Structure 1
Amino acid sequence: MNTNDLNLFEAVAHYGSFTKAAEAMFTVQSNVTTRIKNLEEEFGALLFTRNNRKVELTPEGEKLIHYTKQFKHIFDEAKRSIGKSDVVKGQIKIGFLETMMTLKGPELINELASKFPFVDLDFRSAMSASLISDVLNYKLDAAFVPAPLDIPELEQIKIKDEQVVIVAPADCENLDILLAKNPLKTIVFDQGCVFRAKLDSWLVSRGIIQYHKTVMNSIEGVVNFIESGIGFSVMPEEIISTFYSNRKIKTFQLPKELGLMTTILVYRKDVPLSPALKAFISISGGTKSINIDK
């Protein structure tokens, strides 16, 4: 077995086809078939079920795909990290919620560039569930997500607590007047957004289940719609005070149990921390002490 065998195995699992895997890996189907057969003989287990429509992983194949991703991740880290120099270097992929990236992203980029200039950052913004999935599947080295989170495979570092508030048009006098509107209109991010979930929970606590939702995909879009009087939303107070304090909007406090959001940084426990990731964690503002030595 070699790394190319694992690449072929992963391609078959991804495409569900020996033919498509061969095309993607620039080889012939007979080679893919032979290499997979050799892997199955080496592991003493059937890795795929074959039928006329699709090739699918067996339970044993699912185990191997997990180890394959883990091995490739560690091997890539080794190639990036090993060298004659003691300088911290390498590339790391970090996931953010858009609001967290807006607030903390530039600060982290500047500090990392100052302290660890040979570390390259690759940022990705997405919803919490997608970020967690990408960390679990080795597509991201780490991600900033909301707590609480109970996933045994992930290490957690507390980064910050922040206040989440209701954001309404400037002419809104109080929440009772706001909620009395018919139809009640909200401005929200896509399904899976933590702020949308808090808004839903708050409205349900006030006995409101049916209301109109306008979905936006950017912070600026949400604020623009609120300022125009189209509806209201829930957002981090720091975002509003830092970037939108001069806009025609008003904030109201949420109940304590909904108004506090804790952000954590998560990464896999079973993967050794690379020097580059240790460097990033050391400047992230978390409460866990990290030794950056190579």
Structure 2
Amino acid sequence: MDIHLLKVFFTTAQEGSISKAAQKLNFAQSNVTYKIQQLEADLQTLLFYRHNRGITLTPSGQILFTYAEKILYIIQEARSAIGDSAVPAGPLHIGSMETTAAVRLPNLLAKYHVDYPRVDFRLVTGPTERHVHAVLHYELTGAFVAGPVEHTELVQEKVVDEEMVLVTSYTQPFVHSIHELQSHTLLVFRSGCSYRAKFEQLLHDEGILPKKLMEFGSLETIIGCVGAGLGISLLPRSIVTEPEQQGRIRCHTVPGKHTIVTTVFIRRKDTLITPALSAFLAQMRAHFD
């Protein structure tokens, strides 16, 4: 099987469009179509259904896509392994929840950058659900997510426990019961955020149906809107200590089993431990020890 043809197939399947794949690969559309036809002829099976709305994978195409993802990753891994030296260098792509990146990682990342300037480090922030998917599909080397994460292809390492608190405007009186907040609007991150899931589970366990839910894309926006009295949120205490001291918001403890969220670092079991990753893991462990 021609690896070049496999890459064209994989990119086309990812993009869901021959024209988009051609643009990404810097090929002519006819060239992409021809290479896919070559691969189909080699495998003696149809890989894509062609229709007016574009293309979709056939059952055979879906099977090949799974293998192609692994094959292309292993090839890249082999190149990295052969080219590795004792000095950490090359790409290292790490994911993190926005809250963890904002409070827990700046000093770690600054030290790593100074110590290993040859590493092409990239940090991607987003919700836990997205990062788990990205690590499983070789898009990220590892990620800081809310745990526990139970998956046969992943290993996880505990990083830190976060205490969760209800956050309201400073004008809100002290909350003795979460039922006092029944009529308030919930301010949350987008779907896939573990803190949002924790908040929704807390309300469900208490038999509370939120009046309204509003989604936001950044932590500062949520804190600012809570402070303005728009609604309430559930966030790690480490994130909201400073705005609480500034008198912008008020924090309230939550029921026992909802108090702690554990942050873990996940990676695939079959991930090659390059010098860059090894150095990062060592500094991460020392930082959170």
With the length of structure 2 as denominator, give the TM-score of the two structures.
Answer: 0.85
Asked if the contact 2:182–2:210 (Cα under 8 Å) also holds between the matched residues in 1, the reply is no
Alignment size in residue pairs: 287
Instruction: Report how far residue 241 of structure 1 moved.
Output: 2.3
Q: Secondary structure at the match of 2:187?
A: strand
Asked if the contact 2:90–2:119 (Cα under 8 Å) also holds between the matched residues in 1, the reply is yes
Instruction: Report how far residue 22 of structure 1 moved.
Output: 4.5
Q: Deviations over 1:259-288 (max 9, x none)?
A: 11011111122332322222222222389x
Whole-angstrom CA distance in 2 between matches of 1:15 and 1:197? 30
Q: Deviations over 1:57-106 (max 9, x none)?
A: 23332232223222333333444554474211111111111101001221
Where does the alignment leave 5 or more consecutive residues of structure 1 unmatched?
288-294
Where does the alignment leave 5 or more consecutive residues of structure 2 unmatched?
none
Superposed CA RMSD in Å reads 2.9
Asked if the contact 2:244–2:250 (Cα under 8 Å) also holds between the matched residues in 1, the reply is no
Whole-angstrom CA distance in 1 between matches of 2:184 and 2:30? 62
Identity of aligned residues (%): 32
Q: Deviations over 1:229-274 (max 9, x none)?
A: 3322111011122565323322221122111101111112233232
Give 2:215's aligned residue.
Answer: 215
Q: Secondary structure at the match of 1:180?
A: helix
Q: Which moved more, 1:152-161 or 1:80-89?
A: 80-89
Q: Secondary structure at the match of 2:183?
A: coil
Whole-angstrom CA distance in 2 between matches of 1:214 and 1:33? 44
Aligned pairs for 1:84-233 (under 5 A) are 85-176=85-176, 179-180=179-180, 183-233=183-233
Q: Secondary structure at the match of 1:167?
A: strand
Asked if the contact 1:80–1:91 (Cα under 8 Å) also holds between the matched residues in 2, the reply is no
Asked if the contact 2:84–2:275 (Cα under 8 Å) also holds between the matched residues in 1, the reply is no
Q: Which moved more, 1:171-180 or 1:243-252?
A: 171-180
Q: Deviations over 1:151-200 (max 9, x none)?
A: 21222111111111111222333324774367323322222322222222
Asked if the contact 1:165–1:253 (Cα under 8 Å) also holds between the matched residues in 2, the reply is yes
Whole-angstrom CA distance in 2 between matches of 1:258 and 1:88? 40
With the length of structure 1 as denominator, give the TM-score of the two structures.
Answer: 0.84
Instruction: Report how far residue 209 of structure 1 moved.
Output: 0.7
Quick one: which amino acid aligns to residue 263 of structure 2?
T
Instruction: Report how far residue 122 of structure 1 moved.
Output: 0.5
